[in-house]
């Protein structure tokens, strides 16, 4: 160890990732459903959340989706408001996505075929620790 170097005092830690399945009670099954193992999100280092493999199909075949569809962990700060991003289906159709400060994800767009899957790639965000979920909205 060299005296005077601040980096000498740092302890190196390892990153870790946990992959979680979105529980059925956190998915609006009246509007969307997922195929086996296509309901996953990742939590990195205990509180950085990102979509891992979330693919949703519209219940009832092709048509419009324009509602809250899933609950994810609440962001660390309640004052972020709503953040938005774009998603696409497996056939390239555009969807608009947004998540509010309670972790509720809403998507908007139209599927053309019964087999269309909206691929949700949630931008990384910091969640409350321990992970918290909205308990007001019931799907």
In a domain, 85, yes or no: yes
pLDDT of residue 136: 86
Which domain does 37 fall in, by range? 15-126
pTM of the model as a whole: 0.86
Within 11-137, residue ranges assigned H as helices are none
Q: Judge whether 87 and 105 are in contact, CB under 8 Å.
A: no
Indicate whether 7 belongs to any domain.
no
Q: What is the predicted pLDDT for the residue at 10?
A: 61
Q: Is residue 29 part of a domain?
A: yes
On whether residue 132 sits in a domain, the answer given is no
- Per-residue confidence of the chain (139 residues) as pLDDT tens digits? 555 555 555 666 789 999 999 999 999 999 999 988 899 999 999 999 999 999 999 999 999 999 999 999 999 976 667 889 999 999 999 999 999 999 999 999 999 999 999 999 999 999 999 999 999 888 7
What is the number of domains present in the chain?
1
What is the pLDDT at residue 2?
56
With respect to residue 89, please indicate whether it lies within any of the assigned structural domains.
yes
pLDDT at 6: 56
pLDDT score recorded for residue 81: 73
Q: Which long-range contacts link 84-87 to residues 24+ away (Cβ below 8 Å)?
A: 85/121, 85/122, 85/123, 87/118, 87/119, 87/120, 87/121
Question: Does residue 71 lie within any of the structural domains?
Answer: yes
- Whether 20 maps to a domain, the answer reads yes
């Amino acid at each position: 160890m060299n005296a005077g170097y601040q980096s000498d005092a740092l302890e190196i830690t390892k990153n870790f990732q946990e992959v979680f399945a979105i529980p059925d009670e956190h998915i609006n099954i009246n509007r969307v459903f997922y195929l086996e193992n296509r309901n996953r999100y990742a939590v990195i280092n205990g509180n950085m959340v990102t979509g891992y493999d979330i693919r949703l199909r519209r219940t009832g075949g092709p048509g419009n989706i324009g509602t809250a569809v899933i609950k994810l962990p609440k962001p660390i700060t309640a004052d972020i408001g709503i953040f938005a991003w774009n998603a696409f289906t497996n056939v390239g159709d555009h969807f608009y996505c947004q998540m509010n400060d309670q972790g509720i994800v809403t998507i908007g767009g139209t599927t053309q075929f019964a087999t269309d899957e909206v691929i949700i790639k949630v931008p990384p965000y910091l969640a409350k620790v321990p992970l918290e979920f909205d308990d007001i909205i019931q799907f």
